[in-house]
Amino acid sequence: MIDDVTVRGLAGLWVPLLTPFRDDLSVDFDRIADFGRERLDDGCHGLALMGTTSETASLSVAERMRILEVALAAGIAPAQLTCGTGACALPDAVELTRHAVQTGCLATMILPPFYFKGVDDEGCFRSIAAVIERVADPRLRVVLYNIPSLAGVTITPAVVQRLTLAFDEVIVGVKDSSGDPMSTLRLAKVLRGRALLPGTEGYLVGALKSGATGCVTATANVRARPIRELLDDPAAANARDRQAELTAYRSELERDVDIIVACKRVLAARTGHAAWALVRPPLVSP
Amino acid sequence: MIDDVTVRGLAGLWVPLLTPFRDDLSVDFDRIADFGRERLDDGCHGLALMGTTSETASLSVAERMRILEVALAAGIAPAQLTCGTGACALPDAVELTRHAVQTGCLATMILPPFYFKGVDDEGCFRSIAAVIERVADPRLRVVLYNIPSLAGVTITPAVVQRLTLAFDEVIVGVKDSSGDPMSTLRLAKVLRGRALLPGTEGYLVGALKSGATGCVTATANVRARPIRELLDDPAAANARDRQAELTAYRSELERDVDIIVACKRVLAARTGHAAWALVRPPLVSP
């Protein structure tokens, strides 16, 4: 049985929160909650902690858990928080997922292990099933995180079907960062009533027509409001123009550098806080 | 100044030790030391702990450190141990590298972070330099681990040159798992006197002519002796036939499945210990 309450809670605009660093590249935990609150004030429905945009791959397990704790301690509602808990190492993914469940955050986002290549549907299914089985908590709610360009593994519609069949109530949706409208459409067909969140606003209107229930996008770190407005009224008379403007803005961000680096540069310039431009290697802030 | 003592210590045949699991996929620490000693008895000069073949990406930081500790506690000499300490997260790589240095093992092997793609020479250089600078220990000795097919990043000859220039004594060699004889040749030209270890015996004779100083190969987990014999006498009259036989044996192992799965299957069949066939997801043991 699909958990409709959680699915409804996942609808809307989610910001995959950037991670602020200090000059020594340690996480600046003190700046996370305020930055998160500003994003909510700017129109985001919730904070998607620990996705690609948070440079999660570059953070330790302890740092990842503390970021979630800091957000909660600052009073951000668990219902406005999701947390990425996927990891290459099964014990890490289990520890992170257990921790997230215990905090009461709305859902965890899990991507498959991303070191080994040529992983087939069986390997992808087993990776995620192993985490769910080991966490073994009735409160667990999982959004599958499909990001083939970085994970090197695709969560195919067939894998989604197997997982929803095996863990019906646990699986509440997919975040689809394939960048491919056809992928979003194919996933919608197997999700039937679960959340579907493309990882870009670049084809938002089309995605909503295909069955998307919102979007998770890095751009929301620097300019969420116009995305929210289009999301709230995708049938507006000027929706096509608004979509074109959003797509153009995002393309501009992505033009020369990684979108994470680009967003951090915008924030550094806007706030006058030079440390915003810092990224951990292998990303490079020029 | 090149650390010739360490470079000489790295010459020879290294086995990237498979990791044994129990039925619940926890690491079977009790089987590691005996298995390692058998490999030394079978002709390996040393154990290259925590490379790709150890399914290191699928292990937690704590598990990785304990495997090294277990090998040392069982009496395997630090001079016969190297330890992979690369990780996506800078704090993890620093913690693992510090730990390895403190154990006195011969060298650490470091691969660049492997989540983000499109990483250029600057990002690759900074990733590894950041670890070396933070560990800041005069005993640190690093073998650069080039495995573009899995890391998605190439440690180019230009990066090797920058790193040897910046950290002359620290950098003692390269493990080249590109599978490409031309890559090995290009790396030899910039290493000038440091260790060069291809990650396969598939072109061992050619690699030695190019300047390789040994080899690290998964095959040594199941059949080290003939590799060692060719390594000891690559100019033997029958070297060409021996090379052809080694190459054919490896190709057979790789034919249907991942070489890690293949080697584990061989061990399960040979020892009668079925648990040898176990791998952590995303790998799949049929």
Higher pLDDT, B58 or A255: B58
ipTM over 0.90? The verdict is: yes
Closest residue, chain B, to A58 (C-alpha):
B89
Cβ of A150 within 8 Å of Cβ of B282? The answer is: no
Both tokens of A217, joined, read 């996008």
What is the structure's pLDDT at B29? 98
Please give the single-letter amino acid code of residue A205: V
User: Which residue of chain A is at minimal alpha-carbon distance from B95?
Assistant: A60
Q: What percent of chain A has pLDDT over 70?
A: 100
Cβ–Cβ gap B126/A281 under 8 Å: yes
Nearest chain A alpha carbon to B123: A282
The count of other CB atoms within 10 Å of the CB of residue B29 is: 17
Confidence of residue A285 (pLDDT cuts 50, 70, 90): confident
pLDDT for the residue numbered B193: 94
* Calpha distance B227→A56 (Å, rounded): 41
State yes or no: is B203 an active-site residue. no
Model pLDDT, residue A256 = 77
Mean pLDDT of B234-247: 96
pTM metric for this prediction: 0.98
Which residues of A fall below an 8 Å CB-CB distance to B?
Answer: 25, 52, 57-63, 88-92, 95, 112-120, 122-124, 126-127, 130, 149-150, 152-153, 258, 280-284
B83-118 tens-digit pLDDT: 999 999 999 999 999 999 999 999 999 999 999 999
User: Which residues are B176's β-sheet partners?
Assistant: B146, B198
Angle between helix A239-254 and A259-271 (nearest 10): 90
Is B52 catalytic? The answer is: yes
Q: Using one digit for the tens of pLDDT, what is the confidence trace for A21-38? A: 999 999 999 999 999 999
Band the pLDDT of A173: cuts 50, 70, 90: very high
B209 part of the active site: no
- Mean pLDDT for A218-243 is 97
Element (H, E) at B46: strand B46-49
pLDDT at residue number A286: 74
Instruction: Pick B117's closest partner by Cβ from A88, A119, A149.
Output: A149
pLDDT digits (tens, 9 = 90+) for B134-190: 999 999 999 999 999 999 999 999 999 999 999 999 999 999 999 999 999 999 999
Res A79 pLDDT > 80: yes
| Residue B63 scores a pLDDT above 90 | yes
Could B57 and A115 be called an inter-chain contact, meaning their C-beta atoms sit closer than 8 Å?
A: yes
The per-residue pLDDT for A202 is 96
pLDDT, tens digit, 9 for 90 and up, residues A233-279: 999 999 999 999 999 999 999 987 899 999 999 999 999 999 999 99
Share above pLDDT 70 across residues of chain B, in percent, rounded to a whole number: 100
Residue-wise burial string across B144-177, b where 16 or more C-beta atoms lie within 10 A, e elsewhere: bbbbbebbbbbbbbebbebbbeeeeebbbbbbbb
- Asked whether the beta carbons of residue B281 and residue A123 sit closer than 8 angstroms, the reply is yes
Say which of B82, B97, B145, B219 is annotated catalytic: B145
pLDDT of residue B195: 98
Q: Is B145 a catalytic residue?
A: yes
Residue B256 pLDDT more than 80?
Answer: no
Strand order in the sheet with A142-146: A195-198, A171-176, A142-146, A107-110, A81-84, A46-49, A12-16, A214-216
Distance from CA of A111 to the nearest CA of B (A): 11
Task: Please give the mean pLDDT across all residues of chain B.
Answer: 97
d(CA A86, CA A110): 4
pLDDT, tens digit, for every residue of A131-159? 999 999 999 999 999 999 999 999 999 99
Picking from A203-217, B1-15, B88-102, B243-257, which range would have the lowest pLDDT averaged per residue?
B243-257
